[in-house]
Amino acid sequence: MLSLLLDPLTLGFMQRALLAATLVGLVTAVTGVYVVLRGLGFLGDAVSHAAFPGVVAAFLLGAQVTLGALVAALGTAALIGWVSQRGGIRSDTAIGVIFAGMFALGVLLLGTVRGYTGDLMSFLFGNVLAVAPSDLAIIAALGVLVLLVMFAVRKELVFASFDPLGARAAGLPVRALDYLLLALLAVTITVSIQVVGIILVMAMLLTPAATARQLADRLSSLVALAVAISVGSALVGLYLSYYTNWASGATIVLLQTALFLLALTFGPRRSLRA
Amino acid sequence: MTAPAAPLIVASGVSAGYGARPVLESVSFTIQAGELVALVGPNGSGKSTLLKVLAGLLPARAGTVRVLDAPPGRQPRRVAYLPQAEAVDWTFPVSVLDVVLMGRTPRIGWLRGPSRVDREIALEALRRVGMAHLAERQIGALSGGQQRRVFLARALANEPDLYLLDEPVTGVDPTTEEALMELLDAECRSGKAVFASTHDLSGVLGHFARVLCLNRTLVADGPAEILRDPDVLRATYGGHLVEVRGGTALLVDDPHHGPDHAGARRGHA
């Protein structure tokens, strides 16, 4: 029994995969709590898809692919924030237009790539087993950065999310905090793409937080529970995929989805919206 | 009486609005330290807009505004703003005490959490509004009136010189309203000023010394008793006015916001 757990740990790629999955599970859970509470799900989906042209462009230019994803995700988040704060356009319309435009750019760029595009496909669907030591270093550095910033401004983020007018009257730069949250979301998505891919990253953000929301009504317990669900599913999913040969990202997400459905069915908070 | 200080609020010819739509036009008044002033008017008359301008949340398009001898919004430690209930996400997972501690934010500053002193002040504010026993409750689990009381406690915890309150007692039962108004009156007696919008005209007559009647511009400004004047009421409320008799206003007005609609009913006798 114990060897089932320990054997994979002797393999370098499994060690890196488990570390990467744990880190990503941790960061997505914390960011995801704000995504769920603020109703930013569609925006997160847009930002993750918008990372795609960044990935392809970096590949074409021979640059660091994570860097390309980060630049595209941050740029898109800023663009969406700017368009929706200008007014006159509903924010979901602004998000939809920019999201589709960015993804189209990615598809167009992909068409210009000659030869093998398998590496690029791994960004669409994620391949945590292929995480290189340098990737792991980037995931760790950016992940820790996101967590530190979140922790440092948690009092202000909570106030601005709960009561934006009151927060502004209390002297908080609510608009800047909104942009900061978008930026943290973009960085979180970038580091997660390695593990679960562009298409499934939304599940990492939304599902653990939405599950925890069914069970907790305090922010601290909500974050703790979301982290436990997220990291737990990531580790269990990774072992499962190791032994079954299932796709690792999909296995992790399906575990989270199962937990969500369980919490929804048996949880006590069915009357309150997530 | 001490030497006369500068007024806490000076508004002169203030116009403001959202997008292309003007709401307030050419509003002028001053409020001194120690004053308890009500702001009344029908829905869409600009009460919330005026309070937002004073809190620095909305720029004035024309005219000048000075709050505590500075442009609005510059001194968050000295001004407490209580927003309307509609502006708040009540499902957000924070406790009653968390909410009151938000009132300490301008004093705590960045990168620090509330100290024990902050917690003591927040709990004392909750005691004053009679909500200390619910300190650990989730804010969304409270009734509308209880939520208003918690927000008033948040304003108290800020320890401001000026209170800008957008409907602080809406949804509060009459006994509690009495207690809360006494609390605000005590704040004024200690030299602070309160400027509060309300739909409750009998409450204004019972508790406020002065009233500003707003209908997109300032219709009347004087002692609360001017609300007994049918001409003032007609000028303020227009068609909303149903009946005035025996010096007491009886009128129909919708306490909730949104487009005015005939048939909105809530009588204040």
Predicted confidence band of residue A210 (pLDDT cuts 50, 70, 90): very high
Positive or negative, the CA dihedral B263, B23, B69, B2 is negative
pLDDT tens-digit readout, A177-194: 999 999 999 999 999 987
Predicted confidence band of residue B269 (pLDDT cuts 50, 70, 90): very low
pLDDT tens-digit readout, A139-189: 999 999 999 999 999 999 999 999 999 999 999 999 999 999 999 999 999
Predicted confidence band of residue B260 (pLDDT cuts 50, 70, 90): very low
Predicted confidence band of residue B257 (pLDDT cuts 50, 70, 90): very low
Picking from A87, A162, A169, the nearest residue to B57 by CB comes out as A169
3-state helix, strand, coil in chain B (%, to 5): 35, 25, 40
Parallel/antiparallel/unpaired status of strands B62-67 and B79-82: unpaired
- Is residue B267 pLDDT above 50, yes or no? no
Mean residue pLDDT across chain B: 89
Instruction: Measure A168 CA to nearest chain B CA, in Å.
Output: 7
In B24-115, which ranges are continuous DSSP H helix? 47-55, 96-102, 105-108
DSSP B190: T
pLDDT tens-digit readout, A217-228: 899 999 999 999
Mean pLDDT, rounded, for B52-75: 96
pLDDT tens-digit readout, B168-180: 998 899 999 999 9
* pTM of the complete model: 0.90
Interface residue of B105, B110, B154, B165 to substitute, partner A, most A CBs within 10 Å: B105
Q: What pLDDT score was predicted for residue A20?
A: 94
CB contact under 8 A, A152 and B111: yes
What CA–CA distance (Å, rounded) separates B15 from B186?
A: 32
More confident residue, A262 or B242: A262
Parallel/antiparallel/unpaired status of strands B193-197 and B36-40: parallel
- Is residue A269 pLDDT above 70, yes or no? no
Q: Is some CB atom of chain A closer than 8 A to the CB atom of B52?
A: yes
pLDDT tens-digit readout, A211-268: 999 999 899 999 999 999 999 999 999 999 999 999 999 999 999 999 999 999 988 8
Q: What pLDDT score was predicted for residue B251?
A: 52
Mean pLDDT, rounded, for B241-262: 46
Picking from A152, A170, A219, the nearest residue to B94 by CB comes out as A219
pLDDT tens-digit readout, A80-106: 888 877 777 888 888 999 989 999 999
pLDDT tens-digit readout, A32-45: 999 999 999 999 99
Q: In what order do the strands lie in the sheet with B248-252?
A: B241-245, B248-252, B267-268
Q: What pLDDT score was predicted for residue B45?
A: 94
- Model-level ipTM above the cut of 0.85: yes
Mean pLDDT, rounded, for B209-235: 94
Picking from B83, B93, B158, the nearest residue to A163 by CB comes out as B83
Residue B263, burial from CB neighbour count under 10 angstroms (0-12, 13-18, 19+): exposed
pLDDT tens-digit readout, B16-41: 999 888 899 999 999 999 999 999 99
3-state class (DSSP) for residue B68 = coil
Q: What pLDDT score was predicted for residue B239?
A: 63
Which CATH code for domain A2-262? Answer: 1.10.3470.10
Residue A148 neighbours by CB distance under 10 Å: 10
Angle between helices B144-157 and B116-128 (to 10 degrees): 130
* Both tokens assigned to A80: 């969406």
Q: Is some CB atom of chain A closer than 8 A to the CB atom of B18?
A: no
Q: Is some CB atom of chain A closer than 8 A to the CB atom of B105?
A: yes
Query: Where are the extended beta strands (E) located within B51-183?
Result: 62-67, 79-82, 162-166
